[in-house]
Amino acid sequence: MLRIYDTKHVQLNPLINYSDLCFEDSLKDKYSMSFKYPIRDERAATIKLEGYIRANNNEYIIKEIKRTEDYLEVYAELNL
């Protein structure tokens, strides 16, 4: 389960229908995560740029959202 927060750190309903969750650690000290979320799920509307996601005791800031026909592709960076 991914916990999502708006830009003011107000907790919203958790994201549960995500897929392709991936955590990355690059050589440039850049830690990121990405996942897909179905557009048809009502919680997709809560995913906004500069919102926050908490996973594995870490907090990430949403930096990019790509919309396909069926999914939102979300990319976030570790909030340091």
Backbone φ and ψ of 39, nearest 5°: -65, -35
Interval 1-29 mean pLDDT: 90
Interval 26-49 mean pLDDT: 90
Over 80: is that where the pLDDT of 58 sits?
Answer: yes
pLDDT of residue 27: 64
C-alpha 49/C-alpha 56 separation (Å) is 20
Distances (CA, A) of 44 to 9, 14, 38, 59: 17, 10, 7, 19
33-43 residue pLDDT tens: 999 999 999 99
Interval 24-39 mean pLDDT: 86
Tokens of 44: 């997709």
Give 14 or 28, the one with higher predicted confidence. Answer: 14
pLDDT of residue 12: 96
Over 80: is that where the pLDDT of 63 sits?
Answer: yes
